Structure 1
Amino acid sequence: MAILLGVDTGGTYTDAVLIRDEEVVIASAKALTTRQDLAIGVGEAVRAVLAQSCVTAAEITMASLSTTLATNALVEGQGGRVALIYIGFRERDLDGHGLREALKGDPYIVLEGGHDHAGAQVTPLDEAALIAFLETHKTDVSGFAVAAQFGTRNPAHEVRAAELVTQITGRAVSASHQLSAKLNGPKRALTAVLNARLIGLTLRLIGRAEQVLADLGVTAPMMVVRGDGALISAAQARARPIETILSGPAASIVGARWMTGADMALVSDIGGTTTDVAMLKNGRPAIDPGGARVGPYRTMVEAVAMRTTGLGGDSEVHFTVDGLQGGVTLGPRRLLPVSLIAHEAEDVVLPALEQQLRSTTPGDHDARFVRAVQGIEAHGLAPRDAELLDRIGAKVWPLGNVLKSRLELGALKRLVERGLVQIAGATPSDAAHVLGRVNVWNGEAARMALELFGRRRTGAGVMLARDPLVMAQIIVDQLTHQSGLALLETAFAEDAQDFGLPEETLARHVLMQRGLGPHRGVIRIDTGLNVPVIGLGASADSYYPAVGALMGCEMILPEHAGVANAIGAVVGRVTMRRSGTITSPSEGRFRVHLHSGPEDFTASDAALTRLETALRQAAVSDAEAAGAGDIQIRVERDIRTAEAEARQVFVEATLTVEASGRPRMADG
């Protein structure tokens, strides 16, 4: 009998499930995610499912982890301070693919070096300048990213730069050629920067999860879900944490298919921070050919084709004024719900809310609180930022009691982006408490927070909502509306070839919005979905029936919708893909571009054989390292030729080898 343990660490909750023989969920549980020490939440959730099922830890034959933390960090602009080593490019190349924006003012150096498209060195690597840069920044960053021009055709300069980083700084280093075999240097550099930014977060999560499982007596090795839904070993996830972006959402799709057997449906997973929507076709999630897109970033990471929107149960509620009217919009930033922080620090939060309600004038920071996240290194903080972090210390504070001036709002924003500080405020989770849909945290704090929020004045000078119940319904209605938009945008992306406008334009067009009504004037307009939606997430039961009604579609809410990610974490397969390229720098010469460097052949068949052999060995080695058994191989060849003087001439070939199998089980 196989007992599988799945764990998912999200922004708000950590879920655990036990599945017997890949067929039946025998226990499931939730615990609050504990940012200061992720092991606490993981341990609580795992202990709960073991107690429910009367299964001992030693009986577990496989453990697997999925997480939305990497996704959430990118959506919220969080992560460690990093440095970029950009080899063979120009300063203006930093503006490609949002690379400069992703750096967020972190240090970088543009160095001489790099190779050409055929893998030949263009300019020697400027090691002297690199060494000086590393000496300057060896203590003020958490990691380094390295990207060289045509580094996938010849990685020699990236390899040498990474060696120097390790020797001089001892910090983690992300080399772009190890993350993608594709061209497009700025995009590979962006992927390497984001990977470096996530390393600290991923190491903490995996390390603490492994430790708590070992402490509980789980002897089975731990797997981690990759962004395409496949499983990898914990060691592989440590080396390439960027591959775990969309890990949680990918696991949810695998879980949705396992729970429902659906062949064609939209899968919408609402968490605390994000809503993730993907299309299930023929029972399989599609892989995004352009690379994983998370928030503003398009990476080179192979992942499920999914739209991730900063909309969740813990999304920040913003007050908006349009003309004389007032309303709200949600996200993309996540806040701690007031009901949650009051649950944890009632003695601070309730008196502060009561005092704010006694004031006749609404304050800028009403119903807002702040606390530091303990145990995270604070590299390279500006003096103002460091002073504010010290002032916050280890306590929960009303936000207005901490900020001395408006100038410190910028410092606060930077601390939040670094993941060093959390802000609490009004969220849809608070609205759900006020409406009586959930009752897990402090409902009285939620009521007072929404009463304070409703005192804001519209352009006509009237209060937005005098009654907290009315305010709560306004927030939930907005969540329903924005969830519908996320579904429409994904649906239009599927049908994009039939339209000449971007899917965002179509989904948000006034006629589409009127059709959600539906509109019945001289013109009749109906907007909706023609496929069912599988609603997932802890709050799916609270919010998604109204979303299904809005979209005029069947809304499927599986029995275990709240732990779909944890289910998907253990029912997937190990799948490793390796890709490589052959070019022809001159007639009769075929160059195979390998990680060890280019190799030349005089016959295309010999070159193809060499590349396929190398890719097979690498893919099988990766799959075996991930714990796969009964490995199956699939090879795709894309050979491009051109006609010249009435004959076919070889131009370029790309080979992809996929090695796949179910994880081997430990002896229970």
Structure 2
Amino acid sequence: MPVLLGLDTGGTYTDAVLFDPVRGVLAAAKSLTTKHDLSIGVGGAIAQVLPQAAEPIVMVSLSTTLATNALVEGQGSPICLLLLGYERQALERAGLRQAMGSDPVEFIAGGHGPLGDEQAPLDREAVERAIRTYAPKVAAFAVSGYFSVRNPAHELAVKAMVREIAGLPVTCGHELTSKLDAPRRALTVALNARLIPQLQQLIRAVEAILQSRSIQAPLMVVKGDGSLIASEVALSCPVETILSGPAASLVGAHHLSGSGDVVVSDMGGTTTDVAMLSGGRPVLNREGAIVGGWRTMVEAVAVHSYGLGGDSELRLDETGGLILGPRRSVPLSLLGSQHPRIIETLRYQAEEAIRVGYDGQFLLRLRRLDTKESGLKPDELELWEALEGGPLALSEILQGPAKQRAMKRLLDRGLATLSSFTPSDAAHALGLQQTWSREAAELGARLWLRRLDALGGEKLKEIEPFCRRIVEQAVRQSVLAILGTAFDQSLDIASDKIGKLGELVMTRMAEGTAQESPLVTLEMNLKRPLVGIGAPAATYYPEIARRLGTELIVPPHADVCNAVGAVAGGVLQRVELLISQPIEGRFRVHLPDGVADFSTLEAAVERATAAATEQARRLAHEAGAADPEIKIEREDKTVATGAGMTLFIESRIRATAFGRPRLAAAERM
């Protein structure tokens, strides 16, 4: 029987499963994700399961939360965004200015109109100037042309120039979506370019491990809609892997539990992802995935990703109350097990009479410094080099605003990360988890108790009640996350617009006090069963389900559900082509490489159908499908003008290609 290898690289753990389509999970293992060198974590997980592979591996598939986590935490590589034919005020829409931060944005003459006609010639001299100016300073380019989905000619020309002059990765807006909304398309292409180096690092690490193990099998990557694409295709469109992890978890949850209509909540180290299965299929967000506050134009599972996980940073809100996330922090218990000397630092801080605001917090390197980041400012480089010997206490290194700015820059670029107290530490201190250093966790709790006492916060005097309060906070925020998702998807009401009564009921449910009123019962129940997956599922979800008044399903292998989902999916590619009527009697097909005009609608439909079919089949083959099936749909939009007459507005031709992934040729039967 064929054996498939499923991998999931999350913010904390890398999981591996050996999977047989008939027998199910044959072996499963976890290894810590090592962001400074991803091959270590990937190799560690694979090494644990390979001895149990009785047959050759014929396919490897990878799901990852790295892209999602990077957007949630505001990280990414430096890029340059080239906007063709855009007005400058577009930068203020869709959060584009905020997303770009300090990265360069160049406005260049060009672009097209709504019917695909050129609105202005492309300023090639300005394009070349921008490329030569910024190529030494960025890791990739993003190109978005006005109405490029109606005519991509200018985007394609700029893409060719970037490749010829700079040889850097470049992404175009029309390659990622066929929908209108220029600012959001620009946002999506910018996020895509920023993620290319990170996904490239992961895929190259996996390829190196497979080669070292003599595994000659296709490598696939899970997209945000749960389907699979070949790894080389994924490298050109990494933004399509945002929500890859949640999508894989949904596919895996259905496969492992057999459930059809359920709410799936996946708590990892960095995020909690909540989504729905309807009829056993993931519910998709046709309007575009929302991650880290950005509404992209990537069609993906309708999932709400919350910055809440086992490794969420513990902090104080504006009222002085305890709150978790959204930023991930390396648990002190983990840091103490990897770097025992920090335990001595924690002991010293706990015994010191003088309290420092940064006690119990450390800074450490997260990944290598790539060539495009060698131009760090002197204070940033000094801090980076100081971390070469291992984690440093913030109280030792943050001497003045300049150091704080340098640290923020390293954090924003994903070059460094913080370590502080997290729910994982609370679980260690309570004995609910025994993976890492309990002493480091307890010392971190002592430092937090001292901080709360000094600030006049919650009156918690002992380690155990303090840690139980942290676990309770994780439960509360999880209940609110699941309810918020249910409101949004079933009633189309965003959780921030449900009114005071709704807020009260949700808060009471989250606190477990919904029935304490003497006159009324403030209660809501989740009508679908809750499938709880992820490593902390057994710790948190029984109480979460109780407060939601619903059945809990924790399937077997819930802790490696994403890795199972990575190998249980298929290849799916969609193509949509538009037919417009610029003037009466002329029907224009908006093709992937330009436009074509016809004198009759049926001739245009025939050309669009052939082009959509050809492109869908080509994309499916490139994505790794063995023998894709093609389904064609046609949607005509007309308006009745009276006397039985109609006015043609537009037609859309949709081609969907679906197939199982190709397996290693030598092992086909």
- Residues 336-415 of structure 1: pairs in structure 2 closer than 5 A: 336-347=330-341, 349-377=342-370, 378=373, 380-415=375-410
Give the distance between the partners of 1:637 and 1:506, measured in 2 at CA.
Answer: 45
Q: In the alignment, does 2:495 pair up with 1:496?
A: no
Counterpart for residue 16 of structure 2: 16
Equivalent position SS for 2:300: coil
Q: In the alignment, does 2:422 pair up with 1:427?
A: yes
Give the distance between the partners of 2:520 and 2:233, measured in 1 at CA.
Answer: 57
Query: How far off is 1:529 after superposition?
Result: 1.0
Query: How far off is 1:214 after superposition?
Result: 1.5
Give the distance between the partners of 2:405 and 2:323, measured in 1 at CA.
Answer: 22
Change (3 A) 1:216 1:603: same
Equivalent position SS for 2:77: coil
Equivalent position SS for 2:44: helix
Comparing 281-290 with 402-411, greater Cα deviation is found at 402-411
In 2, are the aligned partners of 1:141 and 1:380 still within 8 Å (CA)? no
Give the distance between the partners of 1:383 and 1:32, measured in 2 at CA.
Answer: 32
Comparing 541-550 with 391-400, greater Cα deviation is found at 391-400
- Residues 197-346 of structure 1: pairs in structure 2 closer than 5 A: 197-320=194-317, 322=319, 326-346=320-340
Equivalent position SS for 2:47: helix
Change (3 A) 1:463 1:638: closer
Counterpart for residue 50 of structure 1: 50
Q: 1:655 aligns with which of 647, 653, 656?
A: 653
In 2, are the aligned partners of 1:321 and 1:458 still within 8 Å (CA)? no
Q: 1:135 aligns with which of 132, 135, 156?
A: 132
Structure 1: 5+ residue stretches without partners: none
Match of 2:25, as an amino acid? Answer: V
Change (3 A) 1:362 1:501: closer
Counterpart for residue 512 of structure 1: 506
- Residues 601-612 of structure 1: pairs in structure 2 closer than 5 A: 601-612=598-609
Give the distance between the partners of 1:506 and 1:181, measured in 2 at CA.
Answer: 40
Give the distance between the partners of 1:21 and 1:401, measured in 2 at CA.
Answer: 54
In 1, are the aligned partners of 2:397 and 2:403 still within 8 Å (CA)? no
Q: 1:80 aligns with which of 64, 77, 80?
A: 77
Give the distance between the partners of 2:453 and 2:259, measured in 1 at CA.
Answer: 46
Q: Deviations over 1:179-221 (max 9, x none)?
A: 1111111111101000000000010101110110111121111
In 2, are the aligned partners of 1:456 and 1:464 still within 8 Å (CA)? no
Counterpart for residue 546 of structure 2: 549
Query: How far off is 1:500 after superposition?
Result: 9.3
Query: How far off is 1:431 after superposition?
Result: 0.6
Query: How far off is 1:54 after superposition?
Result: 4.8
Q: In the alignment, does 2:442 pair up with 1:444?
A: no
Query: How far off is 1:321 after superposition?
Result: 6.3
In 2, are the aligned partners of 1:489 and 1:507 still within 8 Å (CA)? no
Q: 2:468 aligns with which of 469, 473, 496?
A: 473
Give the distance between the partners of 2:36 and 2:654, measured in 1 at CA.
Answer: 41
Query: How far off is 1:375 after superposition?
Result: 1.9
In 2, are the aligned partners of 1:455 and 1:463 still within 8 Å (CA)? no
In 2, are the aligned partners of 1:582 and 1:590 still within 8 Å (CA)? yes
Give the distance between the partners of 2:131 and 2:551, measured in 1 at CA.
Answer: 57
Give the distance between the partners of 2:495 and 2:80, measured in 1 at CA.
Answer: 38
In 2, are the aligned partners of 1:162 and 1:175 still within 8 Å (CA)? yes
In 2, are the aligned partners of 1:590 and 1:601 still within 8 Å (CA)? yes
Give the distance between the partners of 1:489 and 1:638, measured in 2 at CA.
Answer: 34
Q: Deviations over 1:10-56 (max 9, x none)?
A: 000000001123442110000000101111111111110112x2536
Query: How far off is 1:229 after superposition?
Result: 0.2
Change (3 A) 1:19 1:587: same
Give the distance between the partners of 2:405 and 2:167, measured in 1 at CA.
Answer: 31
In 2, are the aligned partners of 1:577 and 1:656 still within 8 Å (CA)? yes
Query: How far off is 1:665 after superposition?
Result: 2.1
Change (3 A) 1:290 1:459: farther
Match of 2:656, as an amino acid? Answer: E
Give the distance between the partners of 1:380 and 1:197, measured in 2 at CA.
Answer: 17
Give the distance between the partners of 1:65 and 1:94, measured in 2 at CA.
Answer: 35
Equivalent position SS for 1:525: coil
Give the distance between the partners of 1:428 and 1:505, measured in 2 at CA.
Answer: 30
Query: How far off is 1:451 after superposition?
Result: 1.0
In 2, are the aligned partners of 1:506 and 1:512 still within 8 Å (CA)? no
Equivalent position SS for 1:139: helix
Give the distance between the partners of 1:82 and 1:653, measured in 2 at CA.
Answer: 37
In 2, are the aligned partners of 1:374 and 1:394 still within 8 Å (CA)? no
In 2, are the aligned partners of 1:250 and 1:304 still within 8 Å (CA)? yes
Query: How far off is 1:664 after superposition?
Result: 2.5
Structure 2: 5+ residue stretches without partners: none
Aligned pair count reads 660
Give the distance between the partners of 1:417 and 1:528, measured in 2 at CA.
Answer: 40
In 2, are the aligned partners of 1:276 and 1:306 still within 8 Å (CA)? yes
Give the distance between the partners of 2:454 and 2:443, measured in 1 at CA.
Answer: 23
Match of 1:657, as an amino acid? Answer: A
Q: 1:579 aligns with which of 571, 576, 580?
A: 576
Q: Deviations over 1:268-296 (max 9, x none)?
A: 00011000000111111111011111111
Equivalent position SS for 1:456: helix
TM-score (norm. length: structure 1): 0.96
In 1, are the aligned partners of 2:332 and 2:421 still within 8 Å (CA)? yes
Query: How far off is 1:532 after superposition?
Result: 0.8
Counterpart for residue 124 of structure 1: 121
Counterpart for residue 169 of structure 1: 166
Query: How far off is 1:506 after superposition?
Result: 7.4
Counterpart for residue 522 of structure 2: 525
Match of 1:457, as an amino acid? Answer: L
In 1, are the aligned partners of 2:505 and 2:523 still within 8 Å (CA)? no
Give the distance between the partners of 2:148 and 2:375, measured in 1 at CA.
Answer: 29
Counterpart for residue 86 of structure 2: 89
In 2, are the aligned partners of 1:456 and 1:463 still within 8 Å (CA)? no
Give the distance between the partners of 1:512 and 1:397, measured in 2 at CA.
Answer: 41
Give the distance between the partners of 2:64 and 2:410, measured in 1 at CA.
Answer: 23
Comparing 515-524 with 171-180, greater Cα deviation is found at 515-524
Counterpart for residue 69 of structure 1: 66
In 1, are the aligned partners of 2:321 and 2:458 still within 8 Å (CA)? no
CA RMSD of aligned residues (A): 1.8
Equivalent position SS for 1:621: helix
Give the distance between the partners of 2:141 and 2:25, measured in 1 at CA.
Answer: 42
Counterpart for residue 185 of structure 1: 182
Q: 1:195 aligns with which of 192, 212, 227?
A: 192
Give the distance between the partners of 1:142 and 1:65, measured in 2 at CA.
Answer: 24
Comparing 424-433 with 411-420, greater Cα deviation is found at 411-420
Give the distance between the partners of 1:507 and 1:30, measured in 2 at CA.
Answer: 43
In 1, are the aligned partners of 2:367 and 2:414 still within 8 Å (CA)? no
Comparing 238-247 with 658-667, greater Cα deviation is found at 658-667
In 2, are the aligned partners of 1:140 and 1:379 still within 8 Å (CA)? no
Give the distance between the partners of 2:111 and 2:375, measured in 1 at CA.
Answer: 30
Query: How far off is 1:389 after superposition?
Result: 2.0
Change (3 A) 1:183 1:321: closer
